[in-house]
Amino acid sequence: MDTDERINDAPILEFDPSRAAIIEPGRAQRDIAMPDRCVMTFFGEVARKFREMPGTRAVATTRWETADIEFLAMDYQGQEVGFVHVHVGAPVAAGILEFMIAYGAKKVIGCGGCGVLDSSIAAGHALVPTAAVRDEGTSYHYLPASRQVELSAAGIVAIKTTLDRHGVEYLECKTWTTDAPYRETVEMVRRRRAEGCLCVEMECSALASVAAFRGIEFAQLLYGGDDLGGTVYDEREWWNKLTVREKLFMLSVEASVEM
């Protein structure tokens, strides 16, 4: 950014395209080799289960203020696939993806849940985002300001091919990524639905922006959780879809190999 450039009234719009930063991810662990195909999952219980599976190995552990982040690799039909349990929220999820990329990840599938903005979408139904509305702050440090960011076309095809292979019904959609789950008002839901969003979550647009900036492929597979499609919130026990969550993780692993 030029020193004589006018300071923007909204700091989040002051994008600096410089490739180098004062702090670089993985700066002290350059000898770590992550598989080039990886899955980021928000399902802690699933990550813990597969951590103990035969053929799974620890790749690296990165110290984070709230908890250590463990990067793992598992054997899937003779091919190694990396995976990590990701914490909720765009900044921390983007930071974890930065480490994965620094360690060698090149094709990444995100695996998580979301709120639905259309009550007709059943709990547990699969959704495949094609674009994410950038209503969070992290992505603006990786790409110039824009309304939305596209996900990897190759990644989307890989996910759809995998779901079709297993006969899993899904919806392609746009997703709304927000930093403020307690500001998902009736009016904001109406606006997002009007521009084509069927679901809401907290990381997708940031992760897609990091991937675009770093030159890797990123796509995401979600399942419908809580319902924000009406005027009354319905949790629909989104956390209690254990079979769905494990199945989605394995579909994401298979899709990462398909990429």
Q: How many domains does the chain have?
A: 1
Residue 178 lies in a domain: yes
Tell me the whole-structure pTM to 2 decimals.
0.92
- Per DSSP, 49 falls in state H
Residue-level pLDDT at 163 = 97
Query: Which amino acid would we find at residue 234?
Result: D
Residue-level pLDDT at 137 = 96
Tokens found for residue 235: 């949790």
For 176, list phi and psi in degrees, rounded to 5: -105, 115
Residue 12 lies in a domain: no
Residue 220 lies in a domain: yes
Residue 9 lies in a domain: no
Evaluate whether 258 touches 162 at the Cβ level (below 8 Å): yes
What does the alpha-carbon distance between residue 180 and residue 202 come to, in Å, rounded to a whole number?
Answer: 8
CATH code of the domain covering residue 40: 3.40.50.1580
Residue 15 lies in a domain: no
Q: What is the pLDDT along the chain (259 residues), one digit of tens a residue?
A: 444 456 667 899 899 999 889 988 866 666 788 999 999 999 999 999 999 999 899 998 888 888 889 999 999 999 999 999 999 999 999 999 999 999 999 999 999 999 999 999 999 999 999 999 999 999 999 999 999 999 999 999 999 999 999 999 999 999 999 999 999 999 999 999 999 999 999 999 999 999 999 999 999 999 998 889 988 888 877 656 668 899 999 999 999 999 9
3 state SS of 40: strand
Residue-level pLDDT at 196 = 95
Query: Which amino acid would we find at residue 125?
Result: H
Residue 123 lies in a domain: yes
Residue-level pLDDT at 226 = 86
Residue-level pLDDT at 29 = 63
Domain ranges, residue 159: 31-258
Residue 250 lies in a domain: yes
- What is the CA angle 141-145-146, rounded to 5? 130
Evaluate whether 69 touches 62 at the Cβ level (below 8 Å): yes
Residue 13 lies in a domain: no
Residue-level pLDDT at 6 = 60
The per-residue b/e assignment along 123-135, b for 16 or more CB within 10 angstroms, e otherwise, is bbbbbbbbbbbbb
- Closest to 172 (Cα-Cα) out of 233, 226, 221: 221
